[in-house]
Amino acid sequence: ILDDPYEIPRIVKEAFYLANTGRKGPVNIDLPKDISNAVIPDDGFDATIRYPVLQPPGIGKDQVAHAQRLMASSERPIVFVGHGVIQSGAQGEVRRFLEKSNMPFSCTLHGISALPGDHPQYLGMMGMHGTVEANRAIENADLIIALGMRFDDRVTGKLDEYAKDADVIHVEHDPSEINKNVRATVPIYSDLKPAVVEMTKVVGHKPYKKWYAFAAENRRDWETLDPVNKGNGRGANTNLLMGTVIRKLSDLTDGKDNVVADVGQHQMFAARYYQFNRFNTWFNSGGLGSMGFSVPAAMGVKYTRPKERVWVIVGDGSFQMNIQELGTIMEQNIDIKILLLNNNFLGMVRQWQDLFHGSRFVGTPVKNPDFIALASAYGIAGERVTKEKSLEPALRRAMKHKGAYLVEIVTDMDEMIMPMIPAGSRFSDMRVTR
């Protein structure tokens, strides 16, 4: 909070410094009205940053040597790609490390789009709603190399049972995250780029044939169970599956559009079924989990990338938490595409109620307005899709339309996002069906 108008230039400069260094993110400045109304001479202030410059010490020779020994002896390694890879711009260095070593990798929720989703070494997202092959690999790994991630509870599950047979090399520029949840065999407090460069120099290449065969077997097992692979297949009038919708969008856009998800089942389906093939094109409130995030965030993405297509993927519950922003879209003529997955429920909470609370659905059924009529009232074009045959034409119309466009998809209210590791559970407790 500012209480001296002469401090405004310095505080603003420090705020931009903090927002763009280290663990990047928003900074709040509380500017009272009397301070903002004050008049100060243009030469009567000091804009020198007084905030200490935090410079990680970097990777040392002993750490490089220890990491080299662990990598050389490992037969079942997996590399974790976190949001730090995107924030540090280290995607090139990480990719070179991966392709030299031939190690498989998995992304955290925020690490998605750091590397191409069609990369042959990619096992998919990890954690509570991660892929079977990624989670089984973590459960059986003998080495984890964690790059720019924090081992949050959605990644680890039950901590004292997490990857018990694995050594851990943890590279992170926020020292408070090292050894906080998972004990690191080799803790490396460093910026990612220089650390990964040094590790690349000493890592060898292995085929890991048995390890990749294990991952492929787990992937095939899941593919036989995945409802999306089976198609809707429950009659011509059956509501669409969210996974089917997201996969179709991914195919039509070649996985190259900007995608901004809200919070809920649709968020997890987007993370799992949209194949992100372009760097830093996935945005979601994966830490705070703030419903209502997607529409205003997508407007911000569109302003920074005006020539690129931006999609909102949102559920009916989240959409109504910031629905007044349709007015902003209208006023500012912001060209974003909104994919509204409407199952008439708060789907993620419903899933927990169904699985863990005896299917007692309290507070989760949603009685919705006519979203297409509402969008029309704001001057936004749109259409409702209820059958699979109408899905692709509707998405294509949205893609070609100049201006904002709403595609409402009526989806199956009983659909669940699987696999699922229940909160606080072991990876071996992963559920692949309801």
Looking up residue 252, the CATH number of its domain turns out to be 3.40.50.970
Q: Are residues 34 and 100 in the same domain?
A: no
Q: Are residues 371 and 332 in the same domain?
A: yes
Task: Determine, yes or no, domain membership for 434.
Answer: no
Mean pLDDT (the chain) is: 95
Task: Determine, yes or no, domain membership for 281.
Answer: yes
Task: Determine, yes or no, domain membership for 297.
Answer: yes
- pTM, two decimals, is 0.94
What is the rounded distance in angstroms from the CA atom of residue 298 to the CA atom of residue 290? 14
pLDDT of residue 118: 98
Please give the average per-residue pLDDT across 381-391, as a whole number: 97
Q: Which residue has the tokens 């892929």?
A: 131
Q: Are residues 109 and 86 in the same domain?
A: yes
Helix (H, G, I), strand (E, B) or coil at 114: coil
Phi first, then psi, for residue 219 (nearest 5°) are: -65, -45
Task: Determine, yes or no, domain membership for 261.
Answer: yes
pLDDT of residue 44: 66
Q: Structure tokens of 63? A: 């750490």
The string of DSSP letters for 320-382 reads TTSTTHHHHHHHHT---EEEEEE-SB-HHHHHHHHHHSTT---S-B-----HHHHHHHTT-EE
Find the distance separating the first CA and the last CA of the chain, reported in whole Å. 49
Q: Are residues 274 and 405 in the same domain?
A: yes
Q: Are residues 209 and 265 in the same domain?
A: no
State pLDDT tens for residues 27-52. Answer: 999 999 999 899 888 776 778 888 77
Q: Are strands 105-107 and 381-385 parallel, antiparallel or unpaired?
A: unpaired
Choose one of 220, 242, 261: the last residue of a domain: 220
Task: Determine, yes or no, domain membership for 432.
Answer: no
Please give the average per-residue pLDDT across 62-82, as a whole number: 98
Task: Determine, yes or no, domain membership for 426.
Answer: no
109: CATH: 3.40.50.1220
> In which band, very low, low, confident or very high, does the pLDDT at 233 lie, cut at 50, 70 and 90?
very low
CA-closest candidate to residue 349, choices 367, 364, 365: 364
CA-closest candidate to residue 335, choices 368, 308, 362: 308
Q: Are residues 395 and 260 in the same domain?
A: yes
State pLDDT tens for residues 186-230. Answer: 999 999 999 999 999 999 999 999 999 999 999 999 999 999 998
Q: Are residues 280 and 344 in the same domain?
A: yes
Choose one of 162, 188, 220: the last residue of a domain: 220
Q: Are residues 210 and 269 in the same domain?
A: no
Please enumerate in sequence order all residues whose Cβ is within 8 A of that of 120, keeping only pairs 6 or more positions apart, or say none.
none
Q: Is 113 left (phi over 0), alpha (psi -120 to 50) or beta?
A: left
What is the rounded distance in angstroms from the CA atom of residue 337 to the CA atom of residue 295? 10
CA-closest candidate to residue 112, choices 140, 133, 83: 83
Helix (H, G, I), strand (E, B) or coil at 288: coil
Query: Structurally, how many domains does the chain consist of?
Result: 3
Task: Determine, yes or no, domain membership for 356.
Answer: yes
Q: Are residues 351 and 381 in the same domain?
A: yes
pLDDT of residue 54: 74
Task: Determine, yes or no, domain membership for 430.
Answer: no
Domain region containing 1: 1-54
pLDDT at residue 309 is higher than 50: yes
Q: Are residues 253 and 271 in the same domain?
A: yes
Cα diameter, the chain: 74
Is the Cβ–Cβ distance between 226 and 241 less than 8 Å?
no
Q: Are residues 174 and 264 in the same domain?
A: no
CA-closest candidate to residue 105, choices 151, 140, 147: 147
Choose one of 180, 205, 220: the last residue of a domain: 220
State pLDDT tens for residues 113-163. Answer: 999 999 999 999 999 999 999 999 999 999 999 999 999 999 999 999 999
Is the Cβ–Cβ distance between 329 and 404 less than 8 Å?
yes
Q: Are residues 93 and 6 in the same domain?
A: no
